[in-house]
C-alpha cells in the first residue's frame, strides 16, 4: 500500500486518543470520519466481514490474537470506521463517554495497524521524540503489569491511572486482575484523591528533567507498558511510552519510580517499573 506512512500516522493518533479515560464521542467522530475518508476507508461492511465487529473483546495486550487474521490495511481501516460510527449511533449524545470495552477495541485495532503499515519499529521513537518544554502543571501516568507466560494471583494490582497536580493533589485509580489473570480488569477497586504538598515540587522537577532531555525508552511485546501524558502551562500535551523496567527511566543516577515513591511516601505506585517487588504470580 502506497500510504504506509499515512496509515501509521492514523494508527498513532487514534491509539493515543483512545487510551484516554473519559474520552467522549464529540472529541473524535468528525475528525475520524475525515481521516478515514482521506485514506479511502469505507463505512460500509460486507456481511462476510462482520466478524471484525465482534463484541468479544480481548485483553488490551492480546491484540495479535484478536486481529491476527487481518492482513489487509483497508479492511482493518473499514472496521475501525464502522465500529466507531455504529457506537456513535447507539450513544445517547456526542457528550457520552466511550466505554472501556470500545476504547480497548480501537486500541487493539490500531496496534495491528502499526504492524500492517510496516512502520511498527518506528512507533516508540516517533511518540517519544518530542521533548517536554515549559512549566509542568499536570503529569498523568497509566501503568500496566503484564506477563504472557504467567497468571497473576487474584488480588494482585495490575494497573494504575495516576494524575499528579503541582498544587499537591493526586488522583489514583487502582485496578485488579482480569478473570484471565494476566491483565487488568475494567473496573477499579479503589479510587483515591490525596493531597501531599511536601515533595511535590521535587517530583515535578525530576519528571521535567527526565522528559525534557533526549532519552531512549525500550520496547518489548512481552512486558508491561507505561504511558505518560505531561501537560504544560499552555495546555500542550506531551506523550511518552515505554516498557515497565527498572532502571529504564533515570534522573541523576536515581530510578525515577523510586524517587517518586520515596518522596511522596507512596510505596505502592506502579509508575515506570511495575513496582516489581509486589508481583504475585500463580
- Would you state the cell numbers that stand for residue 233, as one nine-digit string? 502551562
Which stretch, 59-73, 192-206, 224-238, has highest mean pLDDT? 192-206
Q: What is the mean pLDDT of residues 239-243?
A: 78
Residue 277: pLDDT above 90? no
- Closest among 25, 41, 154 to 84, alpha carbons compared: 25
- Closest among 163, 282, 150 to 224, alpha carbons compared: 150
Q: Which residues, in sequence order, are CB contacts of 159 under 8 Å at separation 6+? A: 142, 143, 144, 145, 174, 175, 184, 270
Instruction: Name the least confident of 134-148, 158-172, 199-213.
Output: 134-148
Residue 272 CA to residue 282 CA, distance in Å, equals: 23
Half-sphere exposure of 261 (CA within 13 A, CB side): 14
Specify whether domain 130-278 bears CATH 3.30.1560: yes
Laid out side by side, the sheet with 237-243 consists of 184-195, 169-177, 159-165, 136-144, 225-232, 237-243
Tell me the pLDDT tens digit for each residue of 44-62: 766 555 555 554 444 444 4
Q: What is the mean pLDDT of residues 184-205?
A: 89
CA-based max dimension of the chain: 60
Q: What is the mean pLDDT of residues 70-90?
A: 86
Domain residue ranges of the chain, discontinuous segments joined by +: 4-125, 130-278
Amino acid at each position: 500500500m502506497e500510504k504506509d506512512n499515512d496509515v501509521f500516522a492514523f494508527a498513532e493518533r487514534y491509539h493515543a486518543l483512545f487510551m484516554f479515560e473519559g474520552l467522549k464521542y464529540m472529541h473524535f467522530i468528525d475528525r475520524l470520519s475525515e481521516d478515514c475518508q482521506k485514506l479511502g476507508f469505507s463505512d460500509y461492511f460486507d456481511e462476510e466481514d462482520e466478524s471484525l465487529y465482534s463484541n468479544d473483546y480481548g485483553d488490551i495486550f492480546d491484540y495479535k490474537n484478536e486481529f491476527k487474521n487481518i492482513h489487509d490495511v483497508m479492511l482493518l481501516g473499514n472496521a475501525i470506521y464502522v465500529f466507531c460510527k455504529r457506537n456513535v449511533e447507539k450513544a445517547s449524545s456526542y457528550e457520552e463517554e466511550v466505554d472501556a470495552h470500545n476504547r480497548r477495541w480501537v486500541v487493539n485495532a490500531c496496534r495491528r495497524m502499526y504492524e500492517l503499515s510496516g512502520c511498527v519499529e518506528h512507533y516508540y521513537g516517533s511518540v517519544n521524540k518530542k521533548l517536554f518544554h515549559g512549566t509542568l502543571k499536570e503529569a498523568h501516568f497509566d501503568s500496566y503489569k503484564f506477563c504472557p507466560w504467567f497468571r497473576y494471583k487474584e488480588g494482585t494490582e495490575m494497573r494504575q491511572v495516576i494524575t499528579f497536580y503541582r498544587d499537591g493533589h493526586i488522583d489514583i485509580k487502582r485496578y485488579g486482575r482480569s478473570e484471565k489473570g494476566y491483565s487488568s480488569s475494567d473496573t477499579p477497586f479503589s479510587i483515591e484523591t490525596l493531597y501531599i504538598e511536601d515533595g511535590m515540587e521535587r517530583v515535578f522537577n525530576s519528571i521535567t528533567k527526565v522528559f525534557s532531555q533526549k532519552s531512549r525508552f525500550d520496547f518489548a511485546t512481552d512486558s508491561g507498558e507505561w504511558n505518560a501524558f505531561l501537560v504544560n502551562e499552555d495546555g500542550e500535551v506531551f506523550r511518552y511510552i515505554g516498557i515497565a523496567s527498572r532502571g529504564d527511566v533515570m534522573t541523576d543516577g536515581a530510578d525515577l519510580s523510586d524517587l517518586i515513591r520515596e518522596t511522596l511516601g507512596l510505596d505502592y505506585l506502579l509508575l515506570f517499573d511495575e513496582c516489581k517487588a509486589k508481583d504475585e504470580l500463580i
